[in-house]
Amino acid sequence: MSVRRLDPVQPTAPFKFNAENAAWAKKTIAQYPAGKQASAVIALLWRAQEQNEGWVSRPVMEYIGDMLSMAFIRVYEIATFYSMFQLSPVGKKAHIQVCGTTPCMLRGAEDLKKVCQRKIHNDPHHLNADGSLSWEEVECLGACVNAPMVQVWKDTYEDLTPASFEKLIDDLAAGRAVKPGPQIDRQHSMAFGGATALTDKSLYSKQRTFTRVEAPPPPPPAAPTAAAPAPVAAPVVAAVAAPANAPVISRVAKVETTPAKAAPVKKAAPAAKPAAAGPELLKKPRTGSKADDLKLIWGVGPAFEKLLNKVGIWHFDQIASWNAADIKHVDALLKGFHGRIARDEWVKQAKKLSRGWRPENSIGDKPGKK
């Protein structure tokens, strides 16, 4: 990067915006809050550079400084910092900025510079013989993916080779129309040779629709066996004490199928969960149903799903029924993952999933979202 200084030869005549630019400047400055007009300095310098044949002279900077009530040194600082501002006269047809930063350098920027030296001038910031072209090396211009590249005024020309760059310079010098962007057969910055991902055309078809997956109906209650006592209306959940050294499974749901001589059951299981019962934890998925895909809960991955199964959680409706005490209980079982349940709103997500919601119902939605 070269040192950026004001040109030693400066015009003696003062600079002034033409009528159109003066009206534009007035409108632009008015867009800023009172006392912040200096924020318009870059926009005004750029406009002045366009009017002043592509460069900002000292009279230009001082005119802008006066207009914005800025100390001249502040305007000099800005103009000498940004390579978008030219501090010396440039080619009338094109001033070519060649990116020389690493990605462009690795892909041939040095060869592009040699083309400039051969076709324009050996040294940057010098005009060619008829004053129509000039060039310089600049730092990254933000089109690295299409390296190597150059910028001319507001346009970039990318994926250049020495041959295509020579043609570009010839076209600019001759005043022929040139096409900005990649100079090879690729669209914008897509991969060489075409897209390699998301190539399924139906993804972009308005025909593509999603079908809502309804939750399967709950299984019918098991018919009482001949040996079972008639009054038992529903599967009975019996508490089973966990071994002292394996506190993970705290309560196991079990369908009572013992004959009448087993301990008599006086009442059907209460619909409401007793406050002290704790969350329902199962050794395996309920009889007749498969484990739910707990990975559908946002934040639960395969490893987390295994852990949940290990502590006795297999179904969305188990999670959907948790109260604050249950969450605390399960949180303690999920060592190392404290707070996940509340933070990721598992209960809310599980309620939605147990009602039949599935991610494919709504792209970008997650079960916790209403």
Chain contacts with ligand FES (rule: CB under 6 A): 99, 101, 103-104, 140-144, 147, 149
Between helix 41-51 and helix 72-81 the angle, nearest 10°, is: 70
- Nearer CB in complex with ligand FES: 120/141: 141
- Nearer CB in complex with ligand FES: 52/151: 151
The least CB distance from residue 144 to ligand FES, in Å, is: 3
Using CA atoms, how far apart are residues 29 and 39, in angstroms rounded to an integer? 8
The least CB distance from residue 97 to ligand FES, in Å, is: 10
The least CB distance from residue 106 to ligand FES, in Å, is: 9
The least CB distance from residue 204 to ligand FES, in Å, is: 30
342 CB-near residues (< 8 Å, 6+ apart): 327
The least CB distance from residue 155 to ligand FES, in Å, is: 14
> Which residues are 150's β-sheet partners?
98, 157
State the CB neighbour count (10 A cutoff) for residue 183. 20
CB 69 within 8 A of CB 36: no
- Nearer CB in complex with ligand FES: 105/222: 105
For 202, the token pair is: 């139906």
CB 116 within 8 A of CB 138: no
The least CB distance from residue 66 to ligand FES, in Å, is: 36
- Nearer CB in complex with ligand FES: 151/349: 151
The least CB distance from residue 47 to ligand FES, in Å, is: 25
- Nearer CB in complex with ligand FES: 68/143: 143
33 CB-near residues (< 8 Å, 6+ apart): none
- Nearer CB in complex with ligand FES: 104/232: 104
314 CB-near residues (< 8 Å, 6+ apart): 282, 284, 285, 286, 291, 292, 294, 308
Using CA atoms, how far apart are residues 80 and 362, in angstroms rounded to an integer? 52
The least CB distance from residue 190 to ligand FES, in Å, is: 17
Using CA atoms, how far apart are residues 76 and 82, in angstroms rounded to an integer? 10
- Nearer CB in complex with ligand FES: 38/147: 147
The least CB distance from residue 113 to ligand FES, in Å, is: 13
Say what the alpha-carbon torsion angle 302, 303, 304, 308 is, to the nearest 10 degrees.
100
Using CA atoms, how far apart are residues 305 and 309, in angstroms rounded to an integer? 6
State the CB neighbour count (10 A cutoff) for residue 73. 9
What type of residue sits at position 303? A
- Nearer CB in complex with ligand FES: 68/99: 99
- Nearer CB in complex with ligand FES: 99/297: 99
Q: b/e string for 194-229 if b means 16 or more Cβ within 10 A?
A: eeeeeeeeeeeeeeeeeeeeeeeeeeeeeeeeeebb
Asked whether the bond before 279 is cis by omega within 30 degrees of 0, the reply is no
- Nearer CB in complex with ligand FES: 70/152: 152
What is the maximum span of the chain, computed from C-alpha positions, in angstroms?
A: 116
The least CB distance from residue 147 to ligand FES, in Å, is: 5
What type of residue sits at position 38? A
